[in-house]
């Protein structure tokens, strides 16, 4: 699942680390894919977009506890890991929901959509 954010402000916006995802009332945080960590913090000029991807389940079916979510909250991190980076976002999900399981992971923020989807 592609996650896209756009800087609609008038100043540069930094996207350190990775988005923190919470589907419905989940009680755990998805692991970040370390291999996707960019060499520098992703900085978005006004009007630019940044990207991350959520891998919702394992292709081989090895994930456990699969469920369908109907709400997603995306938290942005500050300059230190897991600190608050401001307001969170609650994008719309498909009406049927989104299936995920225990293998759910997320990429770090990327400047290029291809880098996010390459995970």
Q: What is the mean pLDDT of residues 32-54?
A: 96
Give residue 107's pLDDT.
96
Angle, vertex CA 77, rays to CA 74 and CA 82, nearest 5:
105
Give residue 61's pLDDT.
84
Give residue 87's pLDDT.
83
Give residue 119's pLDDT.
54
Give residue 82's pLDDT.
77
Helix, coil or strand: residue 46: coil
- More reliable by pLDDT, 118 or 92: 92
pLDDT tens track for 4-26: 999 999 999 999 999 999 999 99
- More reliable by pLDDT, 87 or 57: 57
Average pLDDT in the chain: 93
User: What does the alpha-carbon distance between residue 7 and residue 38 come to, in Å, rounded to a whole number?
Assistant: 19
Angle, vertex CA 73, rays to CA 70 and CA 79, nearest 5:
160
Helix, coil or strand: residue 117: helix
User: Which parts of the chain are beta strand (E)?
Assistant: 2-6, 13-15, 20-23, 31-32, 42-44, 49-55, 67-69, 72-75, 98-100, 105-106
């Amino acid at each position: 699942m592609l996650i896209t954010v756009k800087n609609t402000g008038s100043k540069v916006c930094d996207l350190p680390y990775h988005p923190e995802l919470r589907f419905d009332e989940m009680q755990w945080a998805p692991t970040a894919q370390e291999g996707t960590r960019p060499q520098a913090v992703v900085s978005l000029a006004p009007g630019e977009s940044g990207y991350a991807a959520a891998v919702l389940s394992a292709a081989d079916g090895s994930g456990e506890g699969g469920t369908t979510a109907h709400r997603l909250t995306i938290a942005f991190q500050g300059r230190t890991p897991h600190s608050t980076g401001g307001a969170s976002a609650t994008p719309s999900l498909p009406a049927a929901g989104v299936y995920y399981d225990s293998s759910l992971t997320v990429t770090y923020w990327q400047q290029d959509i291809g880098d996010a989807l390459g995970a």
